[in-house]
Amino acid sequence: MLAAEAGNFYDEYPFDWTERYRPAELATVISPVLIRLLDRLAPNAFVLDVGCGPGRVMTYLAYRQIRALGVDRSFASVVLMQQRCQLPGIVADNLALPLAGGTADLVISDGVLHHTEDPALAFAELCRMLRPGGLLFLAVYRPGGHYEWLYHFPGSVFRRAVRHRLTRALVHATALPLYYLVHVLRSPRKRSWRGARNLFYDYFVTPRVHFLRRDTIEQWCRRCGVRLVEFHPRPIGNVQAFVIEKQ
Ligand SMILES: C[S@@+](CC[C@H](N)C(=O)[O-])C[C@H]1O[C@@H](n2cnc3c(N)ncnc32)[C@H](O)[C@@H]1O
């Protein structure tokens, strides 16, 4: 799949499901590892959220009055993010960021790298953005967990089904309402139908997911001259989180 096609996917189904959360409540749906890094930032620190989507984390950064720039390949997501939090954003690819390197105190890549065509190249780009002593917060899906199975099956069935009008209607009339019901039960009043639909598409239909192992990330760290300082196998949901420092 071409980069443009992957960008279009999130234009049609942005990762947009937190519109009912007040900014302060967003801390409950952000990784505790990331919250801790934000708590430790110096007053004038600069944060880059690469793959910011419609601004789940950016809205929280605005609430905390943290200086930040959002970057995403999806135009629709960047527009939503800017409307929500009044922070600057640019449409760009994490494989080639149109920004001077060595500027960020914290780079955030939350649920993004595993969707990229070349995660190793994207990782190097994220590291390039860090100033010496700066930190990268990297959250990617865990390999070997139940989500890996769900993405491959029934995900592959859903991915094929949504390509055609009739089978897509069938998915929307069966699997999607069930998924919505689970969300209604798990988070009363917080997930709208549209939010659950966007999560369903991100979860099952997104065109590409790499399940990256810890030793792969460590290998990239050595290659990029950065240091893995924290590894959290299960901080929240289906992801694993890495905190990486540029020396
Ligand atoms: C699952 S969403 C996560 C959004 C946000 N980080 C969050 O956690 O709320 C993945 C986002 O990554 C973006 N994305 C995927 N590949 C990208 C790339 N190569 N460069 C920039 N953004 C990308 C998508 O457009 C989408 O908004």
As annotated, the residues of the chain forming the CATH 3.40.50.150 domain(s) are 3-144+208-246
Integer Rg of the chain from CA: 18
Structure tokens at 72: 């995403």
CA–CA distance, 139 with 45 (Å, rounded to integer): 21
Average pLDDT on 173-190 reads 91
**In this predicted structure, what is the pLDDT of residue 236?**
80
Mean pLDDT of the chain: 95
- Residue bearing the CA closest to ligand 1, atom 27: 53
Q: How far apart are the first and last CA of the chain?
A: 35
- The residues that bridge with 30 in the sheet, in sequence order, are none
**In this predicted structure, what is the pLDDT of residue 8?**
85
For ligand 1, the distance from its centroid to the CA atom of residue 165, given in whole angstroms, is 26
What percentage of the chain reaches a pLDDT higher than 70? 97
* 119 has pLDDT over 80: yes
Q: Where is 232: in which H helix or E strand?
A: strand 226-232
CATH number of 3-144+208-246: 3.40.50.150
For ligand 1, the distance from its centroid to the CA atom of residue 53, given in whole angstroms, is 5
Residues 99-110 have pLDDT tens digits of 999 999 999 999
**In this predicted structure, what is the pLDDT of residue 7?**
54
**In this predicted structure, what is the pLDDT of residue 6?**
52
- Report residues whose beta carbon is within 6 angstroms of any ligand 1 atom: 6, 10, 15, 51-53, 56-57, 72-74, 77, 93-95, 110-112, 115-116, 202
How far, in Å, are 7, 122, 147, 151, 201 from residue 168 at the CA level?
A: 20, 32, 22, 17, 12
**In this predicted structure, what is the pLDDT of residue 73?**
96
How buried is 83 (Cβ within 10 angstroms: 0-12 exposed, 13-18 middle, 19+ buried)?
Answer: exposed
* 181 has pLDDT over 60: yes
pTM of the model: 0.96
For ligand 1, the distance from its centroid to the CA atom of residue 10, given in whole angstroms, is 8
Local confidence band at 3 (pLDDT 50, 70, 90 cut-offs): very low
Residues 134-174 have pLDDT tens digits of 999 999 999 998 999 999 999 999 999 999 999 999 999 99
For ligand 1, the distance from its centroid to the CA atom of residue 72, given in whole angstroms, is 6
Average pLDDT on 187-202 reads 92
